Amino acid sequence: MTEKLIPFLEKRGFRLVEKLQGDASSRQFYRVEKKGERFVLMVFTGEGLDLQLQVHRFLSALWPLPRIYEIFPRALLMEDAGDLSLEEAWRKNRKVDSVYRKLLHFLRVLQNYGPGLFPANHPVRRRALNGERFLKELDFTFRHFIEERYPVEEEQWREAALELVESIDYSTAVPNHRDFHSRNIFLKGGKILILDYQDCMMGPPEYDYASLLRDNYVKLTPTLRRRLEKNLNSSNYILVSLQRHLKALGTFGFQIKKGKTYFKDYIPITLEYLAEEIKNLNLKMALLIKGKILQGIYND
């Protein structure tokens, strides 16, 4: 697909600038330029283009998403969000407190107006961050991270995982970005652009807040996090955050197996979150993490 599309764009006056790193995505990204203006070409190696468009159509009414300029059979020509992710801004000691406040506002807008925005048959409404999905994610974590590193029996893990997901309150469901963290938020020309939104689905209101404020890639200062987490420290917030961090370990393990060894760098911070979240939990998973997973220093 790319071999034909790039020459086609070149005939229309575009110039290929570079291939961009797509992190854990199977999609491919290219930066192209025309008359001094830069764009991103998103190429789909499998299914997903229709879903991207369906989510963008409605979510862009509430959130600042990159504009879509042109649609090809298996690719999109989109606004270039630039190179300054929120993660990078944080590491460069940029002032980002106001950015986080705006992002919390975006979450409130999505949760207040999103349920009435997406039609009943929309993919966002047909998928859910529920117990079944959470349990599958924890099974994935066991296969790709736990069983190779820790002395944990599969049955023991499954019992603890089941108890954890059954302890989460799913009674209120709102649209969630699902990966609302610093690597999917970009700062360009004084504005915020939110990426990787195609997996948006219904789930607990606490989920996106946990993704943002207990980010696997950026550890906020205790003072800032306390300020931003005000009114968020419910038991459900802690449980959802715990599940998400366990799920992240599975993702990291899987990506490391594929050769993306830089994901090792984010395991220690995730283990720190786990240690914090199990402090006052009387669950089998808390005992398992404390007794077997947090013992010693992580070494891969």
pLDDT in tens, 133-149: 999 999 999 999 999 89
**Buried/exposed 139-156: b ≥16 CB within 10 Å, e otherwise:** ebbbebbbeeebebeeee
pLDDT digits (tens, 9 = 90+) for 182-204: 999 999 999 999 999 999 999 99
Give the phi and the psi of residue 261 in degrees, each rounded to 5: -70, -15
pLDDT of 299 reads: 56
SS3 labels along 109-156: HHHHHHHHHCCCCCHHHHCECCHHHHHHHHHHHHHHHHCCCCCCCHHH
Average pLDDT over residues 161-172: 98
- DSSP E strand boundaries for 148-260: 174-176, 185-188, 191-194, 201-203
pLDDT digits (tens, 9 = 90+) for 22-41: 766 778 999 999 999 999 99
pLDDT band at 291 (very low <50, low <70, confident <90, very high): very high
Cα–Cα dist 251/105, whole Å = 28
Structural domains in the chain plus CATH codes: 7-79 (3.30.200), 119-179+201-293 (3.90.1200.10)
pLDDT of 141 reads: 98
pLDDT of 113 reads: 96
Average pLDDT over residues 57-63: 97
Return the bridge partners of 40, or none. 31, 78
pLDDT band at 46 (very low <50, low <70, confident <90, very high): confident
Average pLDDT over residues 233-261: 96
Give how far Cα 64 sits from Cα of 59, 141, 252, Å.
9, 32, 28
pLDDT band at 76 (very low <50, low <70, confident <90, very high): very high
Average pLDDT over residues 244-262: 96
pLDDT band at 89 (very low <50, low <70, confident <90, very high): very high
pLDDT of 23 reads: 66
pLDDT band at 249 (very low <50, low <70, confident <90, very high): very high
pLDDT of 298 reads: 56
Q: Is the CB of residue 232 less than 8 Å from the CB of residue 205?
A: no
pLDDT of 256 reads: 95
pLDDT of 1 strictly over 70: no
Q: CB-based burial of residue 92 (10 Å sphere; 0-12 exposed, 13-18 middle, 19+ buried)?
A: exposed
pLDDT digits (tens, 9 = 90+) for 211-243: 999 999 999 999 999 999 998 979 999 999 999
Cα–Cα dist 121/136, whole Å = 24
Q: CB-based burial of residue 219 (10 Å sphere; 0-12 exposed, 13-18 middle, 19+ buried)?
A: middle
Average pLDDT over residues 9-19: 92
Q: Of 47, 175, 170, nearest to 110 (Cα)?
A: 175
pLDDT band at 4 (very low <50, low <70, confident <90, very high): confident
pLDDT of 7 reads: 87
Q: What is the dihedral of CA 228, 231, 237, 241, to 10 degrees?
A: 10
Q: Of 240, 228, 267, nearest to 251 (Cα)?
A: 267
Can you read off the two tokens belonging to residue 217?
């890639």
DSSP β-ladder status, 68-72 and 75-79 = antiparallel
pLDDT digits (tens, 9 = 90+) for 90-108: 999 899 999 999 999 999 9
Whole-number average pLDDT of the chain? 94
**Buried/exposed 105-114: b ≥16 CB within 10 Å, e otherwise:** ebbeebbeeb
Average pLDDT over residues 149-165: 96
